[in-house]
Amino acid sequence: MAGADEVDPATVAVIRNYLNSAATEMQRTLTRTAYNTIVYEIFDFGLSMYDADLRLLADSPGISLFLGANDFSVRKGVEHVGRENLDPGDVVVLNYPYWNSSHTLDVCLFAPVFRDGELIGYTASRAHWLDLGAKDEGYVLDSTDMHQEGIIFPGTKVYKGGEPDEEIHDIIRFNSRIPDKVIGDLNAQIAALRTGADRLSELHGKYGSDTVDAALDRIVDHGERQARAGIADLPDGTWSAVDYVDNDGVSDDPVRIGVEVTVDGDEFTVDFSDSSDAVAGPINVPLGRTEAVCKFCLKTLTTPEETSNDGHYRPVDVVAPEGNLFNAQYPSPTYTLWASILAVDVVFKALAKGMPERIPASTGGDIASVMLYGTDPETGNRFVEANNEGVGWGATNERDGPNALMHYVQTMVRNIPVEVFENKAPVEFDELSLRQDSGGAGEHRGGLGIRRDYRLTHPTDVLAIIKKTRTEGWGLAGGDPGAKNVVVLDLDGSDPDARDRVQVITDNGDDYPDDGKEWVGMMRGSFEPGEVVSNRSGGGGGYGDPYDRDPEAVREDVLDGYVSPGAAREEYGVVVSEDGEIDREATAELRAGR
């Protein structure tokens, strides 16, 4: 067998890039064959490739947290099924949340890859299925037990020896409200697995397994050296931070996220022991998802430009006691995993105390998701359509925060184009715009969130999965937090019972604006034609004292519509006249007066 030192660097580079290309090809196969917009438009998936020892070789997002979750899930799935019980052509389905590292609808499929009778690796595909018979259609916001969250597969062969297990397919089909679409996405994921398996087998056939294995040793060892060198460049220390999830969907109490981060030489440790215990509602986070959060944070700090492999994540250590919010145990509900999204910001909040020049201010803190479901008025079939929204990102010590980008954890995720969404669901969009004044003020301004107004054209059920509506984000070095997330309801004023059709799970706590419309967070309701749900996502935090911002930059923000003239005066001390010019005298007086 060739040793790692015996493989020339050119061959190692070719093999590495071949694997990355194969992962991208898996993604293209999935998006071109999937049935649902949440997969082929939004990219709500994560694809991974592993060697026979379950070392990550390459991946393709999608959602970055899905990739780290796959590492945990495939390991648990192989352990449950038994490596000795896996045969060529098998495909295993896994959505048991505590092994799957996510909620029941983020379904992981994996397949062993054999060549000449020898196991050489695994391919994995995770994607969001739209229904598996949970207690509520669309999304479960207030479950109190895992068994309310849909049918469970702990690691079940949906294909055996290359042939579909029709009994398992029937179980899936008869436990879904939209069976054709779910089975369609299942088949698309399997096609992606086969694509990856073919490429991995071809690679071993071309170079021989000894050479490939030796090259993989070089690749992952190099990844580890890169990660450790990146950690060593960070200051040593221990820093902590706290933030809160609005509630758990069952009680109205805020839920604590307490994080302690330690950098020690070339080791990176994240400890969630200071977080809440597991709660009654479905925001509990499986340990695999928590590990994915920490892997993501480490990757962004150390090797953000590098394609991922197992070595990049070896230096991270995750502490989350059993029964903690971030180590959910059976039968804790896990359907609404928004705590894991906010946890990324909290880890960065802690790190900012020790390395503010390396860390941005907070994001808008959410993925601002709205879902429509019901009966299609044209076909009579059930439909589910979901859309995630961009938020403002935080400013840094060098530049303004970007506007309206998907939260960090979503990586390559997109929203659904207006034309596609209006074709798929009974809705028209009155407005899709940047949300003025949502970016936190600072010498460098936080990025803006988005406003999207959904006007229903037929009776339709709508739910909003919005957290981070009650507590603000944070600026850095004197910068201000951005605006909070909010959903604004414009109901039929002539219907005295209109409000009774809406279950508000989170009142966002602010006073209603001048127009009297209701501001909420998480909610579910039945809406009539002409009624509007306005989703307004949060803004990023600012960096530095707002009064140190160049008045010309403030003027340009006003002209661009990012900042209103009133906010320019009140937050930045800059007076912009109606003709778009700076009133220098009034500005100097305002700034001196502070």
Percent of all residues in the chain with a pLDDT value above 70, rounded to a whole number: 98
pLDDT, tens digit, 9 for 90 and up, residues 420-464: 999 999 999 999 999 999 999 999 999 999 999 999 999 999 999
Confidence check: pLDDT of 43 > 70: yes
What is the band of 540 on the pLDDT scale with cuts at 50, 70, 90? Answer: very high
Beta strands at 450-456 and 532-536: parallel, antiparallel or unpaired: antiparallel
The mean pLDDT value for 174-184 works out to 97
CB 516: neighbour CB atoms within 10 A?
Answer: 8
Q: Of 67-71, 134-138, 280-284, 558-562, give the lowest mean pLDDT range.
A: 67-71
CA distance 528 to 551: 46
Q: According to the model, what pLDDT value does residue 569 have?
A: 97
CA distance 39 to 304: 25
pLDDT, tens digit, 9 for 90 and up, residues 111-163: 999 999 999 999 999 999 999 999 999 999 999 999 999 999 999 999 999 99
pLDDT, tens digit, 9 for 90 and up, residues 307-352: 999 999 999 999 999 999 999 999 999 999 999 999 999 999 999 9
Full DSSP string of 357-388: TT-------S--EEEEEEE-TTT--EEEEEE-
Structure tokens at 278: 């597991």
Contacts of 12 (CB under 8 A, 6+ apart): 215, 218, 219
Q: Give the CA distances from residue 234 to residues 11, 349, 361, 476, in Å, rounded to whole numbers and listed in that order.
A: 33, 15, 18, 19
Percent of all residues in the chain with a pLDDT value above 90, rounded to a whole number: 93
Q: Is 281 exposed, middle or buried (0-12, 13-18, 19+ CB in 10 A)?
A: buried
pLDDT, tens digit, 9 for 90 and up, residues 204-240: 999 999 999 999 999 999 999 999 999 999 999 999 9
The mean pLDDT value for 352-356 works out to 96
Q: Taking all residues of the chain, what is their mean pLDDT, rounded to a whole number? A: 95
CA distance 107 to 96: 9
Place of tokens 């989350």: 320
Confidence check: pLDDT of 510 > 70: no
- Bridge partners, 119 (sequence order): 114
Confidence check: pLDDT of 1 > 50: no
Q: Which residue has the higher pLDDT, 344 or 66?
A: 344
pLDDT, tens digit, 9 for 90 and up, residues 261-283: 999 999 999 999 999 999 999 99
The mean pLDDT value for 89-97 works out to 98
Q: According to the model, what pLDDT value does residue 509 have?
A: 62
Q: According to the model, what pLDDT value does residue 511 have?
A: 56
Decide if 364 contacts 537 (C-beta within 8 A). yes
Nearest to 364 by CA among 535, 532, 238, 507: 535
